[in-house]
Structure 1
Amino acid sequence: MPAKKRPIQKIIKIDNRFNDDPIFEPIDSLPEINSNIFWLIAAQVKDQGNNLITLSPEQIKREVGYNSHISNKQIAKNVDDTFSKLLTIQLSKEDIDKKTGHITKTRENIFQKSIVDTDTLETSVEVSNSFLYLFNHLEHWTRFSITQYVRLHSNYSRKLFRLLKQWRTTGKKEYTIDEFRKRLQIPKSYRPTDIDRRVLTICKEELSANFQNFKITKNYRKGVRGRKLESYIFTWVPEQKNQQDIYYDSSIEDTNSVYYIKSNPFLTEKEKFRALDRFFGFTLDTSLKEYKDGHMRSYFLPNKLHNRKKRTVFHRSDLKSLSQYKHVQFGQLIDVYKQVGEKGFLTQEDKEDLALLEMGFAKTEKDREKDQEEAKERLKRLESQTKDLQATTDSNVTLDFSQSGVETMSFFDDESNE
C-alpha cells in the first residue's frame, strides 16, 4: 500500500482503553524524546486505518521540541530507537486451530511496519490490525494537543495530563491513594510526603497551564487514630464539548495557558512564577526575577521572549499575521484579552494588540457573511439545475442537495460520544 502524505496533525485522539490497559504502561516510562515521537505518530495515524503514514524529519523536529542544532540524521536515529523500544509492547493471544486442534500463540506489535529512509530520512509507519481500535472509529476517546504534551517534562505530569484529559468536559476526577500510585507508577517506597514533593507539586505547576483553575485536594477519612489520607481529587473548569479540533492554534493555546496560570486562585504567587518557568522552559525563578527587575511589556509573554525580532504588526512576537487567523480564532483571542482587561492587567502594548485583533475580527465577519451568501446562491443554482433535470427525464430518482458539494464551515464538533 503506498505511503499516504498529508498535513501534520497536532491533535492526539485515542481510545480510552489505552488509559486502562496495562500493556501500554511502558510508553509512560519512555525517555522524553521517544515519548514525544510516539505521540506525534499517534496523532498522524488517527482515522487512517492501516495506511502507511509518512513524516519528514523537518516535521518531527518542528513538533516534538528539538533544538535547532539537532541534525536530521540524529532525528532519524531517535525515531528508529523509539520503534525499537516499542517492540516490548505486544498483544499476545492464543487460538485453537479448528482442523488440527493445535494451540497457536500470536504476538503483535502496535506498529506492524516502520521504515526509516536512509537517504531522505523520512519515517513511515503502519498500524497493526489488532491495534487499529486505538486510533480509528472511536466512540469513547481521550483528546489533547501534541504541543501541550511536549511542554510537560515530568513523566508523572504527562501521565496525569493524559488521564485527566479523558474527563476534560467533566472537570473532576478522584483517585484513591492505591489507584493513584498504580496509575502513575509511583514507587512503593514513596511516602505521602514524597508524593507531595516529587509528584503533586510538579503536577500542579505544570498542569495549571492546561486546565483552568486546576486544583488538587486531599481527601481524608476520619479514623480511630486521627485522619487517614484516602484519595486525591483533581478539579478544573470543564472544557466545552463543542470545541472543534480544526481551530487549534499554538498562539491561542499559549494565550490561554498563561491566563490559566496567572488567574488560578489555587496557586500561590511563588507557584505561579514557577508554573510560568516550566511552561516557557525557563530555569526556575527566571520569571520572578524578570518581574522584580522592571516593567512587563505584555501580560501574555515574558520580556525575554517579547524582545525577539518582531515578525508581524503585533507587539507580541508569537502572534501570527492578521491574514493567518480565522474569524473564530480572532474571537477566541479577544475573549481572553477582554477577561484580562476587566481585571486591569493589560499593558499598553496588549491594548494595541487587542485593537488589531478586533479589527481582524470585524473584517473576517464581513468576509464570512459574503462567503455564506455565495454558498446560498450556489445551492439555489444547483437546486434549479436539479428541477430542470427531473423535468426532462422519466426517472423517479430524486436528487437531494441538502448535503451538496457546497463548502460550508462548522465551528463546532459534536462530542456527545466522548
Structure 2
Amino acid sequence: MGKEIIKYHNDMNKVSFAGFKEKELDLFFSICQKMKDKGTNEIVFSFSDLRKLSQYSNRSIERFYSDLDRVYKKMLELNLKYEDEKEIRRFVLFSRYIIKKDEQIIIIKASEDFEYILNKLIGTFTKFDLVDFVSLKSVYSKNMFKLLKQWESKKNVKYEVQILREILGVPSKYTTSNFNDRVLKPIMDELPKYFNDLCLEKLKTGKKVTHLKFTWSSRKEEIKEVEKIEVEISEKLDKVIKKGIKNRFLAKLLTVNNIEKLLKIFEENDLIKGLLWAYKEVRQDISTLEYLIKTIKTGIEKKEKKIIVKPTEKIENIFDKTFEE
C-alpha cells in the first residue's frame, strides 16, 4: 500500500480516545483520512475500501458491522470542544452515520462544527502516514504517535504526566509501575522506528516524576534536504499573493514564512482585502514584516468607495424636454 496521508487540526490531539481499541482507532482515522477536504458533503465508503485502508484482517462481515457500530457509539462519547475569546462550544463529529449492510457501504457526513478539523487547514495541523499508524500494535503507541507528529518540526515535546495519562486514555487505576510497563514500554518499543533516536526523559519535581520529555532527531537523509514548510491556502488568497508579488516593493516580503505569520494574525478574507490594497497603494520599499502588517491593517480598515452612475436614459429625457420647450 502506498502512502495515505492524513491531516487534521491540532485541536484533535487534545481529545482523549479512552476506551477505543487498536482496530477501532484504525477505523476512525481511516474515515477521517477519506473525509479530508470534503467539507460537510455526504461521503459514501465501500466496506472493501475501508477494510483495506485500515488493514482490517478479520474476515467476518458480522464482526466488521459490529466494529463500525461500536466506533460510532464511542465517537458520540468523545469530548470535542472549541473555545475562543467569545465562546465555548462542544459538538459531535458527524451529523450522519449510516451502515448499509445490504449494499456494504457506510454513509457519513461531518457536522458543521467539526468541519474545521479536516478542512482548509493552514499552519496548525498534524500530518502523518495512515499506513504507519495502522501498523502499530499498541493503542498507546498509536495515540502517542499522533501526538509526537504534531511536533515533528521541533522534534521535542514535554508533557505533564497527569495530562498525558488523560490524553492517552490511561485507566486511573494504573499505578506508576503499570504506567511504565503497559504504556511507556510499548511506546518506546514501537515508536523509534518512526522517530529517529527517540529518547524519553523523566523530569522530577522533588522526588516525584511530574513531566515526561520526548526528543528525537532528523534522519541522515532528511538532514541533506532543505526543510520544506507547507502552508495550505485557498485559491483566492493564492491569486492575491501572486498578484502582490508583481508589485516589486512587496515581492520580497511575500515569502512562505511570512504568509504563515500573516495567517496567524489576520482572517483570510481580511488578509485578501489588505493585500489587494497594499498591491495598489504601496509605491516605496517596505523593509520589514511589521511595516507590511501595518499596511495590511490600513487596507482592511479602508472603506470601499463606489461611484454610482445615473442611468443615461434619465439624462436624455432632460435634454429632450429642454429642446421641446
TM-score after normalising by structure 2:
0.60
Distance (Å, rounded) in 1 between the aligned partners of 2:76 and 2:7: 22
CA contact (8 A) 1:177 1:230 kept: yes
What secondary structure does 1:205 align onto? helix
Matched, 1:118 2:101: yes
Question: Deviations 1:267-320 (Å, cap 9, x if unpaired)?
Answer: xxxxxxxxxxxxxxxxxxxxxxxxxxxxxxxxxxxxxxxxxxxxxxxxxxxxxx
Q: Which amino acid aligns with 1:193?
A: S
**Offset at 1:161?**
1.2
What secondary structure does 1:130 align onto? coil
Q: Name the count of aligned residue pairs.
A: 224
Per the alignment, residue 141 of structure 1 pairs with: 125
Q: Which amino acid aligns with 2:51?
A: K
What secondary structure does 1:129 align onto? coil
Per the alignment, residue 85 of structure 2 pairs with: none
Per the alignment, residue 151 of structure 1 pairs with: 135
What secondary structure does 1:29 align onto? coil
- Select which of 196, 199, 203 maps to 2:187: 203
CA contact (8 A) 1:164 1:173 kept: yes
Cα 1:241–1:192, aligned 2, differ >3 Å: closer, same or farther? farther
- Select which of 242, 254, 263 maps to 2:228: 242
CA contact (8 A) 1:213 1:237 kept: yes
CA contact (8 A) 1:10 1:40 kept: no
**Offset at 1:188?**
4.0
For structure 2, which runs of at least 5 residues remain unmatched after alignment?
83-88, 231-242, 244-255, 265-325
Distance (Å, rounded) in 2 between the aligned partners of 1:158 and 1:90: 19
CA contact (8 A) 1:12 1:146 kept: yes
What secondary structure does 1:14 align onto? strand
What secondary structure does 2:103 align onto? coil
Per the alignment, residue 86 of structure 1 pairs with: 75
What secondary structure does 2:114 align onto? helix
Per the alignment, residue 229 of structure 1 pairs with: 209
CA contact (8 A) 1:28 1:35 kept: no
Distance (Å, rounded) in 1 between the aligned partners of 2:193 and 2:229: 18
**Offset at 1:12?**
1.5
Per the alignment, residue 129 of structure 1 pairs with: 112
**Offset at 1:90?**
6.4
Question: Deviations 1:116-175 (Å, cap 9, x if unpaired)?
Answer: 233220112110011111111122111112111112222221221111111011110111
- Select which of 148, 151, 164 maps to 2:148: 164
Q: CA RMSD in A?
A: 3.3
Per the alignment, residue 13 of structure 2 pairs with: 19
CA contact (8 A) 1:49 1:127 kept: yes
- Select which of 17, 28, 42 maps to 2:32: 42
- Select which of 33, 49, 54 maps to 2:23: 33
Q: Which amino acid aligns with 1:58?
A: S
Relative CO higher for 1 or 2, CA cutoff 8 Å, sep ≥ 6?
Answer: 2
- Select which of 1, 4, 10 maps to 2:4: 10
Q: Which amino acid aligns with 1:242?
A: K
Per the alignment, residue 217 of structure 1 pairs with: 201
TM-score after normalising by structure 1:
0.48
What secondary structure does 2:151 align onto? coil
What secondary structure does 1:232 align onto? strand
Alignment of 1:58-77 (within 5 A): 58-67=48-57, 70-72=59-61, 74-77=63-66
Cα 1:135–1:228, aligned 2, differ >3 Å: closer, same or farther? same
Distance (Å, rounded) in 1 between the aligned partners of 2:76 and 2:54: 21
Q: Which amino acid aligns with 2:53?
A: E
**Offset at 1:74?**
4.0
**Offset at 1:185?**
3.2
What secondary structure does 1:208 align onto? helix
Question: Deviations 1:159-203 (Å, cap 9, x if unpaired)?
Answer: 211111110111101112333333323344444333222221111
Distance (Å, rounded) in 2 between the aligned partners of 1:152 and 1:215: 18
What secondary structure does 2:193 align onto? coil
CA contact (8 A) 1:29 1:155 kept: no
**Offset at 1:38?**
0.8
For structure 1, which runs of at least 5 residues remain unmatched after alignment?
1-7, 94-105, 245-399, 401-412
Distance (Å, rounded) in 2 between the aligned partners of 1:91 and 1:203: 25
